[in-house]
A and B are shown apart, each in its own frame.
Chain A
Amino acid sequence: MTLSYLIRRVFHALIVLVMVGIITFFVVRLAPGGPSLLADPKLSAVERQAIEERLGLNDPLPIQFTKWAGQTARGNLGNSFLYGAPTTDIIMTRLPNTLILAGTSLLLTLVVALPLGLASGLRPGSAFDRITSTVSLVFVAVPVFWFGLLLIILFAVTWRLLPAGGMNTAGQEGNLGDLLRHLILPAVVLSAASIAEILRYTRSSTRTVSTQDYVRTARAKGVGQWALRYRHVLRNAAIPILTAVGLQLPRLIGGAAITETIFGWPGMGRLSVEAALGRDYPLIMGITLFVALAVVTFNLLIDLMYPWLDPRVRAEA
């Protein structure tokens, strides 16, 4: 790992961000419809004109782009149409909520999927393997909104064990117990598909590695079961698993839209839905750039972890 490699990667990341910005800007502006602030058929021509002027929508598209690019380069993402407040402030208000939900879901994913996937991959064809494979297939296939509503009906409506939505009971903000109660259902729903995917990756990767010659050799040399699993199998199976986990992260940060909508969780996923439905151009651009930044950063971090896990990658880098 050299400094020039790192600089090259950061430079590539910047190019990706610029491209994402340009493409998103034009795709969003050229999409049918317009800001929901203008979608009231009762607005008179005068009212409509005043709103368009205020939002800067009267300018030709190239001028709008130049203005946006100029202010973005200066670190100003503009004011949200819907909220009438700086886009950065709105994202920063929602980000901690998303991190709480995404972090819990990621933890839950790793704690459940890794051991089950490993155990499943080491005993292919066993009853345990068949059960985990079937269950994980079900969770990959089941629609998130259906699963979410099912849990709400069971745990909140029928058994009254957990709240049906929100992040806190109003007035209980800051109460950890209250937050945990609200966190359980959305975290389970958000991690269900991730658990299933990571479990299947872990199983497949473990299975591939455990049939390699060096594992058989190690076993023949009398390496203990635990050392064999940890040192020889899991460590070598880790790279594809890590890549799969890396792919989950942006989904957890920016794409938890359905889960956050069903559970009324005030995070980035729901914000992105609101922004898209309301054609809130500055907010859409802000969220997209933010998620793109998260994706390239995570990818960079994961790339940096490869050499640590696999000396062969270290030699290549």
Chain B
Amino acid sequence: MPKRLFSVGLLTLGFTLALGSAQAQSGILKLPLINDPIMNPVIAPDLGSVLINKVIFPGLVRPNEDLLPEPDLAKSWTITNGGLVYTFNLRSDVKWHDGKPFTAADVVFTFKAATDPKSGSRLVSDFSSIKDIVAVNPTTVRFTLSRPFAPFLTLLGHNAGILPKHLLDGKPLNDATAFNRSTPIGTGPFKVTRVVPGASITLEANKDYYGNKPKLAGMVFKVVPDINAQVAQLRSGELDWVNVEPNSLTSLQNDPNITLKQANAVQHFLVFFNQKNPLFAPAKVRESMQYAVNRKAIIDGVLKGYADYPTGTLPTALKKYYDKTIKPIQYDPARAKALLAQAGWKPDAKGQLVNAKGEPFKFTLIVDRGNPSREQAALAVQQDLKKIGMDVTLQPLEFATLVRDYLIPGKYDANLIWWTTPPDPDQYAYYATGQDNNNAFFSNPRADELLKRGRETANVALRQQIYNSFQRLEMTDPPVLVLYYPKELQALRKNLGGVPDLGIRDALRHSEDFQLR
């Protein structure tokens, strides 16, 4: 009798499990996030939030496959008054996910919030050039800038999704918890239907979407915090697209159901040398580092070749502005030593670099803990610099600690980190004297002038010349040691199609074209 009961129990369990597994999810694209997102583009603090917001909240423009702005919520625009006035004609066929019509008032509301630091906006710096914005009529919006600002259009298509005025007006954005966490209303090709905290966000195709009709029935953003678990779920078919690090490649390369793609990322990975420290103040010392570090070895060894060899701080992804004719500086430790000798650093009897007073060339290189690629790259940098006689200590730190306690107050010698920038060559905030993001404290009057002119010049040919000059200047007075321009490694299920050749954040702005075959 007990045996029979046990068998019945097992059968029931098996039946229940089988029922649980019989779920049809055709046409639903599944993507990972590492934590619950904030579904509000103005205050979104992390990449995961940015990704889902791309699908829910379109902007006035979006980047095309050449990363140039193309119409989105705006049909067209004109730029007048010497680049100071941008007038946008908006689409009249756009509805919010709750059925209300989208108008110019929503755009005005969004940018008033985006430029107000008290709103919790993360876009204040991006749009600090806006002096005034008015709704001329329900389908026309006019921005007046305080200064000509060439990256303006690109930034409109970067993170500036438009918010619904009728739902958020008068409320502090950070306190709109229900909207931000469970009931966001956008105008995008997919709308949120269900949020399970800590687990998933389910979206369904928006039948009223103004662009191409979405080809997918829906999307699910699953919260999968661990990257190894993400890869396992991709292989088991529970996820369709995972961005991976080169060290995950071995488990994916032989999987017949997975396609690996690489996309250009507008990123440069670099080592900051704190130029308030007299060690790094001379340009010759920083120039020597470019010869001393075997960057090709890092690209081939650590990144398995998935990165471009660098020439300055402008990544190759900015095809229009990157000057391919500039010859990149190659690994040449003898040349590095010669440059250091010119700067007053010569090896002693033990091969250690010392100055005229006999003081050693000694510093600490910090790197964030936990990312194998960056930790290995930092180790390679340390070893290469040791080879030319520098005394380098490697110190891994937790990222928040690195930024808050070391980088921002400038209490560091050298720091391996990265910048992800909008698809525009403007780097004024990063490398012009005294700017907030100039964490290396780089200062070069010629660079300041070029960077200022670059952001104020709308003419593309002229901008090309300006940024090519900046790129050349960086060869002899490098603001930082650029290690590589990484590729974004995308691992996708083979049946996923319609994905443009863009990094995931820009590709998701074209999610209506995705399809599962």
- Interface members, chain B 199-228 (any A CB < 8 Å): 199-200, 202, 220, 222-226, 228
Query: By the criterion CB–CB under 8 Å, are A169 and B199 in contact?
Result: no
Say whether A160 contacts B199, CB under 8 Å: no
Q: Does B5 contact A (CB under 8 A)?
A: no
Confirm or deny: B342 has a beta carbon within 8 angstroms of a beta carbon on chain A. no
A62 contact set on B, CB distance < 8 A: none
Q: Is B99 an interface residue (CB 8 A)?
A: no
Q: Is the CB of A170 within 8 A of B174?
A: no
Q: Is B437 an interface residue (CB 8 A)?
A: yes
User: Contact between B197 and A263 (Cβ–Cβ < 8 Å)?
Assistant: no
Are B401 and A173 neighbours in the complex by a CB distance under 8 Å?
A: no
Chain A 254-285, CB within 8 Å of chain B: the 1/0 string? 00000001111011001101100101000000
Across the interface, do A149 and B401 meet the contact criterion of CB distance under 8 Å? no
B35 touches A163 (CB 8 A): no
CB distance from A145 to the nearest CB of B (A): 8
Given A45-B436, A164-B229, A181-B21, A34-B404 contact (CB < 8 Å):
yes
A168-B200 Cα distance, complex, nearest whole Å: 9
Rounded to whole angstroms, the CA-CA distance of A34 and B124 in the bound complex is: 21
Q: Is the CB of B120 within 8 A of A264?
A: no
Is A175 part of the contact surface with B, judged by Cβ < 8 Å?
yes
Residue B390 at the chain A interface, CB threshold 8 Å: no
Task: Compute how far the CA of A97 lies from the CA of B390 in the bound complex, rounded to whole angstroms.
Answer: 53
Residues of chain A contacted by B35 (CB below 8 angstroms): 82, 274
Contacts A38-B404, A93-B198, A266-B223; A149 near B229 (Cβ below 8 A): yes
Q: Are A44 and B401 in contact (CB under 8 A)?
A: no
Which chain A residues lie closer than 8 Å to B177 at the CB level? 83-85
B117 at the interface (CB under 8 A from A): yes
Contact (A39, B202) CB under 8 Å given A47-B117, A47-B122, A266-B196: no
In the bound assembly, the distance between CA atoms of A145 and B196 in angstroms comes to 25
Asked whether A232 is an interface residue with its Cβ less than 8 Å from the other chain, the reply is no
Verify B232–A153 contact, CB threshold 8 A.
yes
Contact B38 A261 (CB under 8 A): no
Q: Cβ of A33: which chain B residues have Cβ within 8 Å of it?
A: 398, 400-401, 404-405
User: Considering the chains assembled together, what is the distance between the CA atoms of A295 and B220 in angstroms?
Assistant: 37
Tell me the minimal C-beta distance from A100 to chain B in angstroms. Answer: 13
B416: Cβ under 8 A from any A Cβ: no
Collect the chain B residues with CB atoms within 8 Å of residue A277's CB. Answer: 400
**Interface flag for B13 (CB, 8 Å):** yes
Q: Closest CB-CB distance, A187 to chain B, in whole Å?
A: 14
The answer for the CA separation of A54 and B404 in the assembled complex, in Å, is: 17
Instruction: Please tell me which one of the listed residues B13, B198, B404 contacts residue A266 in the complex, with CB atoms under 8 A apart.
Output: B198
A164 in contact with B236 (CB, 8 Å): yes
A238 CB within 8 Å of chain B: no
Q: Does residue A78 face the partner (Cβ distance < 8 Å to B)?
A: no
- Whether, in the assembled complex, A171 has its beta carbon less than 8 Å from a beta carbon of chain B, the answer is yes
Asked if A180 and B16 make an inter-chain contact with CB atoms under 8 angstroms apart, the answer reads yes
Instruction: Decide yes or no whether A42 CB sits under 8 A from chain B.
Output: yes
Chain B residue at minimal CB-CB distance from A93: B197
CB nearest to B399 among chain A residues? A39
Q: Let me know if A94 is at the binding interface, CB within 8 A.
A: yes
Residues of chain B within 8 A (CB-CB) of A35 are 400
Bound state CA distance, A131 and B439, in angstroms? Answer: 59
A84–B226 CB distance below 8 A:
no
Interface residues of A in 147-165 (CB under 8 A from B): 149, 152-153, 156-157, 160, 163-165
Q: Is the CB of A160 within 8 A of B174?
A: no
- The answer for the CA separation of A196 and B233 in the assembled complex, in Å, is 29
Residue in A46, A169, A262 whose beta carbon sits within 8 Å of that of B229 in the complex: A262
Contact among A40, A84, A173, A263 with B181 in the assembled complex (CB-CB below 8 Å) = A84
Residues in B neighbouring A261, C-beta threshold 8 A:
225-226, 229
Cβ contact within 8 Å between A181 and B17: yes
Question: How far is B434's CA from A6's CA once the two chains are assembled, in angstroms?
Answer: 65
Pairwise interchain contact A39-B400, C-beta atoms closer than 8 A: yes
Q: Are A84 and B175 in contact (CB under 8 A)?
A: yes
Whether the pair A84, B174 counts as a contact (CB closer than 8 A) is yes
B25 within 8 A of A: yes
Q: For residue A54, which residues in chain B have a CB less than 8 angstroms away from its CB?
A: 118, 120, 174
Q: What 1/0 flags go to A25-53 for Cβ under 8 Å of B?
A: 00000001111111111111111111100
B residues 438-482 in Cβ contact with A at 8 Å? 439
User: B25 to A41, Cβ gap below 8 A?
Assistant: no
Q: Does B155 contact A (CB under 8 A)?
A: no
On whether the beta carbons of A84 and B180 are closer than 8 Å, the reply is yes
A172/B23 contact (C-beta < 8 A), A41-B439, A264-B225 known: yes
Q: Is the CB of B20 within 8 A of A156?
A: no
Whole-angstrom distance from the CB of A266 to the nearest CB of chain B?
3
How far, in angstroms, from A40 to B197 measured CA to CA in the complex? 24
Tell whether B308 is near chain A: CB-to-CB under 8 Å.
no
Whether B198 contacts A94 by the Cβ 8 Å rule is: yes
The answer to whether B199 touches A168, judged by C-beta atoms less than 8 angstroms apart, is yes
A262–B223 Cα distance when bound, in Å, is 11
Q: Are B17 and A34 in touch, CB under 8 angstroms?
A: no
- With CB as the reference atom, state the residue of chain A lying closest to B436: A44
Identify the closest chain B residue to A48 (Cβ): B408
Which residue in B194, B225, B397, B403 is a CB contact (below 8 Å) of A270? B225
What residue in chain B is nearest A175 (Cβ atoms)? B20
B199/A167 in contact, CB under 8 A: yes
A172 touches B437 (CB 8 A): no
Most B Cβ at <10 Å: residue of A84, A160, A263, A266: A84
A90 at the interface (CB under 8 A from B): yes
Q: Which residues of A are found within 8 Å of B235, using beta-carbon distances? A: 157
What is the bound-complex CA distance between A149 and B232, given in angstroms? 8
State in angstroms the CA–CA spacing of A170 and B196 once bound together. Answer: 9
- Mask, B12-27, CB within 8 Å of A = 1, is 0101111111010100
Distance in Å from the Cβ of B178 to the closest Cβ of chain A?
A: 9
Is B339 on the interface with A (CB-CB < 8 A)?
no
Cross-chain contact B224 with A165 (CB below 8 angstroms): yes
Please name the residue on chain A nearest to B173 by beta carbon: A84
In contact, B399 and A168 (Cβ under 8 angstroms): no
The yes or no answer to B344 lying at the interface (CB within 8 A) is: no
**Docked-complex contact B198 and A32, CB < 8 angstroms:** no
CA of A42 to CA of B267 in the docked complex: distance in angstroms?
13
Q: Which positions 118-154 of chain A face chain B at CB distance < 8 Å? A: 145, 149, 152-153
What are the interface flags for B264-301 relative to A under an 8 Å C-beta threshold, 1 for contact and 0 otherwise?
A: 00000000000000000000000000000000000000
Q: How far is the CB of B245 from chain A (nearest CB, A)?
A: 16
Please determine whether B198 and A271 come into contact, CB atoms closer than 8 angstroms: yes
A21 adjacent to chain B (CB < 8 Å): no
Question: When chains A and B are docked, how far (Å) is the Cα of A219 from the Cα of B268?
Answer: 78
Residues on A close to B: CB < 8 A? 32-51, 54, 82-85, 90, 93-94, 97, 145, 149, 152-153, 156-157, 160, 163-173, 175-181, 261-264, 266-267, 270-271, 273-274, 277, 279
Residue pairs across A and B with Cβ atoms less than 8 A apart, 5 shown, are A47-B124, A84-B180, A164-B236, A175-B20, A178-B20
3 interchain residue pairs of minimum CB distance: A266-B198, A177-B20, A33-B401
List 17 additional A-B contacts (Cβ < 8 Å) besides A54-B120, A83-B36. A34-B400, A38-B403, A43-B436, A47-B121, A54-B174, A156-B236, A169-B20, A169-B23, A170-B194, A171-B194, A172-B23, A175-B19, A176-B20, A177-B18, A178-B23, A180-B13, A270-B198
